[in-house]
Amino acid sequence: MSVVEVSVDGGVALLTLNRPERRNAFTADMGRALGEHYATLDTDDSIRVVVVTGAPPAFCAGADFTNGDNTFDAPTDPDFTASPIQPPAFELRKPVIAAINGHAIGIGLTLALQADIRIVADNAWYAIPQVRFGVLPDAVSHWTVTHLAGLTAAAELLLTGRRHTGADLLRLGLANQVLPAQEVLPAALELAHDIATHTAPMSVALCKTLLWDTARDNLNPAQVAARETDLHRRLMGTPDAKEGVRAHLERRPPRWSARLPENGRTIPR
């Protein structure tokens, strides 16, 4: 059994962290596999949305403590990185939904914060406790948490390492929905299929890239307006721009024709 299982249905790829006997505790192999699947799915035109979840009973319990107090030994690999999932979810051109169906601790939460949309369980605990283990938060969380929740909330989450509820995450802007655990994955898949059916691939890719670039490059309103104008010029008058209106007027699912480039970003930097 793979540490990350993959299934595909109707343009939606479901990635399942699959070490249930260890509450899907994170390993280097898991990070490598997740990144490889991200990269592969991003170049597959048949995939419109990626959903990430965990094999019950947890989403991801964080670092695997099998090695006891050697868990955070000094790295010997010259290629060591604190961001072991490459590419991160925010670099994909397709929406990534995290279906956080149970506890998400440490890198279990920080990897989910790289997704575009997060649906969380109401009976689980969420924390980024690395400072309580003598290390520090990972997976670009000093940027993602600040971007999503603001500096004040990020300081509390990252500097204290305290546990939070699903309701806390919703209040802080780190979650989109809080549901009973058994409803999290169905809700994520329903949303994913809605996106896959009704939205134009190129429109979504350009929108997502601009959303994350706005945060990453700290774009001001005038810069965003200029990029939006450029992207409107890129899309208006295309077959998809006509098909979207035509499908709406004819009350049928749209048939999109634009395809993403095989490699690379959709917006040059």
Q: pLDDT digits over 169-217, tens only?
A: 999 999 999 999 999 999 999 999 999 999 999 999 999 999 999 999 9
- Answer whether residue 268 shows pLDDT above 80: no
Does one domain contain both 72 and 122?
yes
Q: Which of 91, 111, 129, 109 is closest to 34 using CA atoms?
A: 111
Domain that holds residue 144: 4-195
What separation in angstroms does the CA of 179 have from each of 99, 167, 169? 10, 10, 12
Q: Does 224 share its domain with 189?
A: no
Same domain, 177 and 137: yes
Residues 208, 87, single domain; the answer is no
How sure is the predictor about 35, in pLDDT bands with cuts at 50, 70 and 90? Answer: very high
Which tens digit of pLDDT belongs to each residue from 148-162? 999 999 999 999 999
What's the mean pLDDT when you consider all of the chain?
A: 96
Q: What is the pLDDT of residues 51-82, one digit of tens each?
A: 999 999 999 999 999 999 999 999 999 999 99
Instruction: Please check whether residues 144 and 216 belong to one and the same domain.
Output: no
Are residues 124 and 183 both part of a single domain?
A: yes
- Does 164 lie in the same domain as 99? yes
Same structural domain for residues 210 and 154?
no
- CA–CA separation, 174 and 12 (whole Å): 23
Contacts of range 32-36, beta carbons closer than 8 Å, 24 or more positions apart: 32/84, 33/2, 33/3, 33/4, 34/4, 34/85, 34/111, 35/84, 35/85, 35/86, 35/87
Residue 1 confidence class, pLDDT cut points 50, 70, 90: confident
Confidence tier at 113 by pLDDT (50, 70, 90): very high
Residue 264 located in a structural domain: no
179 inside domain: yes
Final residue of a structural domain among 180, 195, 210: 195
Residue at a domain's end among 195, 221, 241: 195
Please determine, for residue 261, whether its predicted confidence score (pLDDT) is greater than 90. Answer: no
Residues 99-107, mean pLDDT to the nearest whole number: 98
Domain count, the chain: 2
Residues 171 and 218 in one domain: no
267 pLDDT band (50/70/90 cuts)? confident
User: What are the tokens at 193?
Assistant: 């299929």
Q: What is the CATH number of the domain that holds 238?
A: 1.10.12.10
Whether 117 is covered by a domain: the verdict is yes
Same domain (yes/no): 215, 187: no
Residue 134 pLDDT class (50, 70, 90 cuts):
very high
